[in-house]
Amino acid sequence: QVQLAESGGGVVQPGGSLRLSCVASGFNFSDSGMHWVRQAPGKGLEWMAFIRYDGRDKYYADSVKGRFTISRDNSKNTLFLQMNSLRSEDTAVFYCAKAEELLWFGESFDYWGQGTLVTVSS
């Protein structure tokens, strides 16, 4: 079955960096676009970034553009999120999600990982 497992979260000081990973299994990772979504404590969902199946297209939320970088290693079925210049407002649970392209009307996020908590605090 499809599984997504995030790791790499932890406590980091403001201005610091962190790299999140998401290991995928149970589907053909190299055929699927992937997303990162975050959720601050007690808040709603916020879409962060997308990467196309081959890594050639990437999109970011304005709130992280220039600070976060999404990438992937299809040989290792792994998605990454490099986070630099972290701020307290980046504190959140970060989820990776698989994109399912639809014949009509875009795509859906059909599988999600369990999330990894990032805490930015001094």
From the list 111, 121, 94, the residue with the least C-alpha distance to 40 is 94
Contact 55, 114 (CB under 8 A): no
Is 103 or 122 the residue whose CB approaches other proteins more closely?
A: 103
Judged by CB under 8 A, the number of residues near other proteins is 25
Distance of alpha carbon 36 from alpha carbon 44, whole angstroms: 14
* Using rule CB under 8 A, residue 33 touches other proteins: no
* Using rule CB under 8 A, residue 73 touches other proteins: no
Q: Which residues have C-beta within 8 Å of that of residue 28, sequence separation ≥ 6? A: none
Contact 71, 60 (CB under 8 A): no
The only residue of 5, 47, 52, 87 in contact with other proteins, by rule CB under 8 A: 47
Contact 47, 60 (CB under 8 A): no
The only residue of 41, 56, 105, 122 in contact with other proteins, by rule CB under 8 A: 105
Q: Which region among 13-21, 22-30, 79-87, 111-119 touches other proteins (by CB under 8 A)?
A: 111-119
* Using rule CB under 8 A, residue 46 touches other proteins: yes
Q: Which residues bind other proteins (CB under 8 A)?
A: 35, 37, 44-47, 50, 59-62, 95, 100, 102, 104-110, 112-115
